[in-house]
A and B are shown apart, each in its own frame.
Chain A
C-alpha cells in the first residue's frame, strides 16, 4: 500500500498535468493575444510612471517616433523588438498581409479603443438643450474625469495590495504551489498576455477547487472581437468564481462562488465597471443610470451595431462579446445559432472543440474495465472536494446538444447561418470570408426585401455595397464605391459609419481592405460634409492608428482623412471631439490624438488652433493634458516642417513653461518639442528660442537621465541656428555636460550625445583647436571602442559624428588616432574604422597625411582587406578605393605589394576572395595608370585573362569588370593580352545568362568595338552580332541598351550591310521585346552609319508581306527619324510613299506606327522647308482622328501636334474648323479635343487665324482692330 501510494500520487500528478493541458484545450480559450487574459491591465501603461516604460515611446525611442513620419524601412531593421513568436504558433499559418501581424504591441493597442457613440452636434441643433439620451461634450468629459479618478483609485489600491503581498511573501514561500510564480508575476502590469493565459489555466483546472472552470473567469472580460480585454490593475489572481470578494474590487461581480453554476445570469447584473454588456434577460437597468456611467464600454459596442440608439440592454448584436453572450444565454441548443454575433474565431473554436470533446469524451466504467488489467490497479474514490464540471457555459460551448450523445446531432432546420460551407451569396455578392460573417451575416438570410422596413432595407443596401467594396472584383468595387458616394447623403451618416467603422476595427483586416474602406470614408466624407459632426470621434478612433502605422502610405492616407474630416466638421467640432482624449489615461490614445491634432492644425491653419493649444499646455488639471498639448506642438513641427516659421515664436511661448514643469515627462516632451521646432525651423528662427535658452542651459546642469537627454537634444538642434559667436559660447557651456555624459552607459544617451556633438561641431563658431584639445581625447576614449560597432545605429551615428569632427580638425588628427585600429581583432570594429577613414579621406583628400601615417594607413588597409571574412565586402572595397585614389601617385611604392596581394587572392580557393580581388583591380586601375605602372597593369590583364574560365558567375562578372577597367585606362593598343586574343575569348562568355556576367561582358565588348574594332577580324564581329541578338532578350534594361549600342559600334567598324541583314532577319522573330530592340538597333545603325546606307534595305524590307516585319520597319523608321532629327529633311521625300501606304493600311498598328514616325519626322524637320511633304502626310493622318483605340488615337494626336509645330497652328486650325460645329456630337467632341490641344500649344498664334465672324443684332463678333492699316 505504502509503495503503491507514491506511485498513485505520481500518476495523479501526471494526470493533473495532462488535464491542465487538456483544460487549456477544452476550456473556453480565446486568442489571449486578442482578447487578453484575465489580467486585464497588462500591457496597459498607467499614466503616472511606476516604471519608466511609457517614456520609451517618447524620449528614448524618440528618434524612431519622430521619424515615423518619414521612414519607410521595415520596422524589424530599425528596431530590434522581438515579436512574440507565440502568435505565429497560434496561427499555425500566416496570412501574409494582415495588418495585425506586423504590428507591435504598442500599435496593437488600437484595438483597445472603443468606437464611441455619436455625439451631440451643437451646430445642427442650435440652442436647443440636447436630449438626455444624446452624449454631449459635457458627458464625455465627465466620463473621462471619472475614468481618471478610477484609475487613480485603482492605482492606490494596487499599490496597497502590492505592499500586502510583499508582507505575505514570506509566508507563502513555503507553499510549493505551481501557481506561485504566476501569481507573483500577475501583479505586474507589463507582463505578457499569453503567459497569464497559460498559467491561469493551470491554477484554474486544479480539481481541488470546486466549480472552477478556466473559461468562466471571464465574466468581466469583454472580449469583443477586436478588443484586448480592457485592463484593470485589479489583482485578481485566479478564477474569481471561487474567491471571496477582494477589497480591491469596486463591486465584485464574481463574489459568490455558487452563483456561476446555479444562476449564470444573475451575477453580473451588478454591472461593475468592467462589466459585459447587458444582455436581454437580465434585470433591465434603468436607462438613465446606464447612460450616466457604467455602460461606457458596452454601450459603445452596442451602438457600433445596427441597433444604435437602442438601450444598451439590447446590445445583443453582432459585435458584442461572444463569450459573455454564450455564458449568459439560456443554454438551449439553438442558442448559438440564433446569435448573429459569433465571431469567426469563436466559431472555429466551437467546431474544433466539438471535435476534441468527441474524441476525449469521458470513458465509461465498462470501457475502463476492458482496457486495464484486473490486477495491480485500484479504483480510488474521487476526492471529497471533487465536483464534476457542471457549468453550463462549458457544456454549452462543448456541444450544442445539452444531454444527448456528444456525437452527431441532426442539425436544426432553417438555421440562421451556415458556417461550414460558404453559401452562394444571393444577388451576385462577392465571396465572404469567415471573418466577415460577423458583419455581413445578415445578408445571408434570404428574407424578402419587400417585408423589411425602409431602414432595414437601407442597412442591407449599405452592407451589400460595403461587402462589394471589401471583397469584390475591381469593377464591382468601382460601381459599389460610386454608389456609396452618390447616395451618401441619402443613406445618412449614421447608418454608413455604423457599418464602416466596425469593419475597420476588425482584427483580421488586411492592408488592401483597410485601404479600400478608408477610401470609402474619404469619398463619403466629401458628400456628407457637416453631417459627419456627430461621428467625428468615432472616425478618429479608427483613423488615428493609421497615423502611426509603419507603412508610409497608410500614414499619408490617415492624414488625408483627418484633414478632410477637419475641413468637413470644422475646428470647433474637432476640438470638442478630441479634447477628452487629450488627457486620456491611455498613453496610446494621447499619442495618436496628438498626431491627429497636428494634422488638424496643418489642415485648418496653426493660428486657429493656437488659443486652444495655449490653454491645453497650461492645463492645471492634469499633467497628461499638458504633455499632450506640448506633444501636439512637436507633431506640428514634424508634420509641416519649415512652415512653422511664421508661428514659431507663439509656439515656443506656448510650450516654454513646460521646461520647468513639475512632472518630468512634461519637461522631457517640452525639450523634445523644442528640438523638433528648431529642426523644422533650421536655419532660421533663433530669435524665437531666446526665451528658452536659459532654462535649457540651466536644465542640463540640474537634470539627469532621460530629461537630460531630451534637453541635450533640444540644445543640439538649437545651436546650429545661432550666430557663430553665440554658438561657440553655448557649445562650450554644453560641452562640459556632454563630455561628462560620454561615459554614460545608457545607449540612448550615447546616441543623443553623439548627435549633439555632431551638431555642435559642425557649427561655424566652434574652433578646431577647442575641439582638438577639449573634445577629441575624451571622445575617442569613450566612443571608439569595439562595442560601438556592434549596434547599427550607434555605428552610423559614431561614423557620422567622427566625419563631422574631421571636417573641422582635419584628416591627419582623426586618421592618426584610428589608423592603428585597422588592425584590431574585431572585424565589425575594423569595418567601422575603415568606413570612417573612407568618408574622411573622400571628403578632405589625403594631402594632410604625412609619410609615416601613409605607411601605417596602407599597411592597415591591406591588413583589414585581407582579414575580412564577412559577406559585406563593400565597405572594405570602397575604403581601399577611396584611400588609394586620394593618395594618387603616392601609392606607387606600395603598388607592387598591393598587386602581389591581389594576384595571390585571385588564386584563392574562396570565390568571395577572388571576387573582391577582381573588384579591387577595377577600383585602383585609374591610380595605377597615374603611377605609370602600365607594365604591372598589363601583367594583371594577362592574369585576369587566364582566369576567364572562372565558373562562379559573380566572380566572372568581377573579372570582366576588372579587365574593362584596365582596357579603359591603358587603351586598346597597349593592352595585354592583345585585343585580337581577348575578344574571341569573350564571344562564348556572351552566352552566359547571368546578369552580372552579361552586363560586364557586353560593356567590355562594346568598348572594344568602339575603340579597337580594327584589331579583330570582321568575321569575329559578325559572330558576335549573332550572339548579341540573344542578349536583346535580357531582362535588365542596361544590358539591352549596351547591346543596342554595340550594334552601332560594330556596324561602324565593319560597315552596316551585314549587320543590317542580321537585324532585318531578326524582325521576323515572334518575341515582341526582341523585335523592339532590333528596331532600335536598326535605327542606331542608321544613325551611326548615316541613314542612306540603311534606308534602301529597310524600305525594301517593307515589301515582305508580313505584319511583324512591316511594323518593325515602320518602328525603325520612327526611331530613326527620332534619332536623326534635322538630318531627316534629306530623307523625308524618300519615305513619304511608304508612309502613305502605311497610313492607309487596314491594320491599326501600321497606322499607329506610321503616325508616330510622322510625328518624329515633323518635329525633326520643323522650319526646314519640307512643308509640302508634311501637308501631304497630314492629309493621310487626319482621317485617323476618329480612331478609338487608345494607342492609335494617341499616336495620331501626337502626329497632329507635331504638324502644329512644323506647319504652324493656323494651318491645323483650318483643318479643325470644319468639325467644331458639326451636327454630330461625336465628331464635335473629337474636333474640340484637337482644337483644345492646339489652343494649349499655341494660343497666341491662333489669334491671327480665327475665322471672321459676322456681327449679330445684339452681339459684335467681328474684330475690327485686325482691319487697321497705316
Chain B
C-alpha cells in the first residue's frame, strides 16, 4: 500500500512537472528554485505591459529593448548551475 501509494504520487508529480514547468518537489535546490523564480518574474514583466513601460521609463530604454533584454535574461537568469556537492 505504502509503496504503491508513493509510486502513485510520484507519477502524478512527474506529470505535474511535465505540465507546469515551474512546479517544485522536495529535492529542489536553491539554484533550481531561484531559476524558476527568475524566469517567472521575467515572464510576468514581459506579460504586463504597464510594468514593462514602468521599467522602460526607469531605465530610460525603449519598451521593445526592455522586453528583449528580459527575454534574453530568461536563458540563464542565475548564471551557470553550481557544481553539485553530493555527486
Contact = CB atoms under 8 A, between A and B. Distances in A.
Interface of A: 478, 1220-1221, 1225, 1228-1229, 1232, 1235-1236, 1239-1240, 1243-1244, 1246-1247, 1250, 1253, 1256, 1258-1261, 1263, 1265-1266, 1268-1270
A1250 B37 contact: yes
Given A1236-B16, A1236-B24, A1270-B58, A1260 B79 contact: yes
A1253 B30 contact: yes
B41 A1240 contact: no
B80 A1268 contact: no
Interface in B29-45: 30-31, 33-34, 37-38, 40-41, 44-45
Interface in B12-67: 16, 20, 22-26, 28, 30-31, 33-34, 37-38, 40-41, 44-45, 47, 54-55, 57-59
Contacts of B34: 1253, 1259, 1261
B44 A1244 contact: yes
A1225 B23 contact: no
Highest count of chain B CB atoms <10 Å: which of A478, A1225, A1265: A1265
Nearest to B23: A1236
B84 to A, nearest CB: 13
B20 A1232 contact: no
A1240 B23 contact: yes
A1265 B30 contact: no
Contacts of B78: 1259-1261
Contacts of B55: 1265, 1268
A913 to B, nearest CB: 59
Given A1244-B47, A1247-B41, A1265-B55, 9 more contacts: A1232-B24, A1235-B23, A1235-B24, A1253-B34, A1259-B31, A1261-B34, A1268-B54, A1268-B55, A1269-B58
A1221 B33 CA distance: 11
Contacts of B82: 1256, 1258-1259
A1263 B39 CA distance: 11
A1243 B23 CA distance: 10
Contacts of B54: 1268, 1270
A1225 B26 contact: yes
Nearest to B42: A1265
Contacts of B22: 1239, 1243
B40 to A, nearest CB: 6
Contacts of B23: 1235-1236, 1239-1240
A1221 B16 CA distance: 20
A1116 to B, nearest CB: 33
Contacts of B79: 1258-1260
Highest count of chain A CB atoms <10 Å: which of B22, B26, B78: B26
A1142 B7 CA distance: 33
Contacts of B40: 1243-1244, 1246-1247, 1250
Highest count of chain B CB atoms <10 Å: which of A1228, A1246, A1247: A1247
A1263 B38 contact: yes
Interface string B70-87: 000000011110100000
A1228 B77 CA distance: 25
10 interchain residue pairs of minimum CB distance: A1228-B26, A1268-B58, A1247-B44, A1236-B23, A1259-B78, A1261-B34, A1229-B26, A1259-B79, A1250-B37, A1247-B41
12 contacts: A1221-B30, A1229-B25, A1236-B20, A1239-B20, A1239-B23, A1240-B23, A1243-B40, A1247-B40, A1247-B41, A1253-B34, A1260-B79, A1269-B58
Contact of A1232 (B25, B37, B38): B25
A528 to B, nearest CB: 21
Contacts of A1253: 30, 34, 37
A1155 B38 CA distance: 34
Contact of A1268 (B37, B59, B77): B59
Contacts of B20: 1236, 1239-1240
Contacts of B16: 1236, 1240
B4 A478 contact: yes
Contacts, number: 73
Contacts of A1220: 24, 33
Nearest to B38: A1263
A1229 to B, nearest CB: 5
A1244 B47 CA distance: 10
Contacts of B31: 1259
A1228 B30 CA distance: 13
B35 to A, nearest CB: 9
Contacts of A1270: 54, 57-58
A1232 B44 contact: no
Contacts of A1268: 54-55, 58-59
Nearest to A1257: B82
A1265 B41 contact: yes
A1197 to B, nearest CB: 13
B57 A1232 contact: no
B41 A1263 contact: yes
A1250 B40 CA distance: 10
A1232 B13 CA distance: 11
Contacts of A1258: 79-80, 82
Contacts of A1256: 82
Nearest to A1226: B26
A1258 B44 CA distance: 25
A1259 B38 CA distance: 12
A1240 B54 CA distance: 27
Contacts of A1228: 26
Nearest to B19: A1240
Contacts of A1221: 30
Nearest to B28: A1232
A1221 B28 CA distance: 9
Nearest to A1227: B26
A550 B57 CA distance: 69
Contacts of B59: 1268
Contacts of A1259: 31, 34, 78-80, 82
A1255 to B, nearest CB: 9
A1266 B16 CA distance: 29
Highest count of chain A CB atoms <10 Å: which of B45, B47, B78: B78
B14 to A, nearest CB: 12
A1221 B44 CA distance: 25
Contacts of A1243: 22, 40
A1250 B41 contact: yes
A1260 B22 CA distance: 18
Contacts of A1246: 40
A1050 B11 CA distance: 51
A1228 B57 CA distance: 41
A1232 B26 contact: yes
B49 to A, nearest CB: 14
A1239 B77 CA distance: 19
A1236 B30 CA distance: 16
A1240 B82 CA distance: 27
A743 to B, nearest CB: 62
Given A1253-B34, A1258-B79, A1258-B82, A1265 B24 contact: no
Highest count of chain B CB atoms <10 Å: which of A1221, A1239, A1246, A1261: A1261
A715 B30 CA distance: 68
A982 B19 CA distance: 61
B82 to A, nearest CB: 7
A1260 B38 CA distance: 10
B74 to A, nearest CB: 13
Nearest to A1230: B26
B27 to A, nearest CB: 8
A1269 B59 CA distance: 9
Contacts of B28: 1232
A1265 B77 CA distance: 13
Contacts of A1247: 40-41, 44
Nearest to B59: A1268
A1244 B82 CA distance: 27
B83 to A, nearest CB: 10
Highest count of chain A CB atoms <10 Å: which of B20, B33, B54, B82: B33
